[in-house]
Structure 1
């Protein structure tokens, strides 16, 4: 078995955990630890990330110059996708709103959300009143035979066979593009969605 260490581990010994960032070409990735610091969701003002990790995320997002910024969560961002459970961001809605409001207040463009934890793959949107629509791509059930039912409201979803999600970026074109594909165990592409950077911006691009 081969193991690849993370680029670094959170805030070191003083702030342990498993959160880090890295870049591939012109795309920045922010990997969140949703377990180490999470509070009981039934407490007052519960936090999933903890103060240090959240501040790190805000600072990294503000400093990012990547065309696209991918924020990875171990649990779904969209609400209502794990009925009856407070384990995903459903149980931490105030902190979720704090993150989304930060994106809007600082006009951070090009953000994509990815997540896992459900035994299905899907694409969803999170509508925002004061910002652009956020897209969430969820990919799970790579090898697990146990299936979770599809939940209404997704752009598309898939749970018939084991599958994975593939994100492809092209930042060389005038309106940089990303494509999300769901590919099953038979190497069949069952769903595809493409977006332009112009759809993920607080300022409309003049196409004239």
Structure 2
């Protein structure tokens, strides 16, 4: 599994609707990757006006890559191999924060969506981690045909490395085709000490 961070000149990364972005990504990939139902999925997330993050199940070939951008490729295998119980990581997730009630969807706060137990275990628990700290910001309101998007950031502790690996590979929640569900981990930033501290 590999992730590619694209940096487009100007505002090109946000010039397309999510469905168009999905089509541009998928159209460059082999059919066996697009239709695969096991292993890592093709996921993506807009990071800023000019940056797009895309996950590929295998090392991306040149013809898979989106044109017109500088790229940074990250091999995810070292991170997946080092996941262990009790580790603490910063996390970043864009999610479709709604609960389904029959045929209706109702928006819920990010902490409730991730840690609430509406139908058994919480999403965080099923994804192999416990949330230690969480903050969220709404980045896109849901409309007809467009999923609601909330950016969730925080600190997690690993409880089940295998389940967390699956969450990294497959995403969390709905709306993957609209740039939602991709979970990212990074080493937690150290708190700043008092002035003059080493």
Task: Report if TM-score (shorter chain) is over 0.5.
Answer: no
* TM-score range for the pair, normalised by the shorter chain length: under 0.3
